[in-house]
Copies of this chain bind each other. A is one copy, B any other.
Amino acid sequence: MFFHDKRLQYNAKPDKPAPMYAKMLQEVIGGQFGEMSVMMQYLFQGWNCRGPAKYRDMLLDIGTEEIAHVEMLSTMVARLLEGAPVEDQEQASQIPVIGAVMGGMNAQNVVMAGMNPQHQIVAGSGAMGVNSVGVPWNAGYIVASGNLLADFRANLNAESQGRLQVCRLYEMTDDAGVRDMLSFLIARDTMHQNQWLAAIADLEAEGLGMTPVPSTFPQEQEKSDVVYQFWNLSIGQESAQGRWANGPSIDGKGQFEYVAAPQPLGEAPELQPADPRLHGTAKTPMPAMTSPGPDTSQPAQQ
């Protein structure tokens, strides 16, 4: 169960309104790597966790923190929208002939052109669960597989993409209040990258996971001859210079091999005709049936 403290985890107060920037900031609320994603991702990973208690507890700690980040960002967006322009003035600058548009625009119009119009029409100056182009967040962004090593790698990625986006947003504004809040989120993302790297080390030390994920699948069932091959499928060999093409594999179980001119190992496939009742195109013409297609699925009919 959850409890709410009305105080924000950290300040969320801009120096000035900036409705276009409010639109941009939505990316880290409702984008693929916004705070809604990590919030729901960590909570579902925690609720579904069948591993040791410390991981479950840690997941619910950080998932609970992320709800507070959505809260801070939503508060910031609501404040950035205070004083946003309401009235569209493009008409005032038009002369009534086809295609003729000129003069008369001012900064208010530019801001209106760059705003998310739903911030006014739909939300009445409030934050929304959408990204910076207005596409709603969806749960297809969540990663929660039940394999903690796989998922902690997902989390490391999420905090990397997330910190990258917040740093970019930091560069895109001069507002000291906005930057103050973002400096807090950037710091937390630094912690969280460290945290997932530590959690991965912890899992490996406890024998609960290793490369390749999942480590419990019997590797002798793999097609062993291609396990450490790099296939050069793009003409030219710059890719031969990388660590991935030379030396021992990272999992310590093989040697990387660079296959400079790989060839297909399979045949050119040819498919069988489909059931005639599906009316697809076969290799030879089929007469129009005189009644709905015969049921060829019954053994008795063969």
Contacts and interface: CB of A to CB of B under 8 A. Distances in A.
18 contacts: A4-B60, A9-B265, A10-B265, A24-B117, A43-B70, A50-B281, A64-B234, A87-B277, A91-B173, A100-B297, A102-B108, A121-B172, A124-B168, A124-B274, A138-B140, A147-B279, A154-B161, A187-B227
Interface residues of A, number: 237
Interface string A264-300: 1111110111111111111101111111110111110
Nearest to A254: B194
Nearest to A32: B140
A174 B87 contact: yes
A25 B27 CA distance: 21
Contacts of A282: 50-51, 208
Contacts of A207: 285
- Max chain B C-beta neighbours (<10 A), residue from A112, A221, A234: A234
This chain's copy number in the assembly = 6
B222 A94 contact: no
Contacts of A271: 48-50, 75, 78-79, 82
5 closest A-B pairs by CB: A124-B146, A113-B114, A133-B134, A129-B139, A48-B126
A147 to B, nearest CB: 5
Interface string A80-120: 01111111101111111111111111111111111011101
A157 B160 contact: no
B102 A47 contact: no
Contacts of A100: 83, 297-299, 302
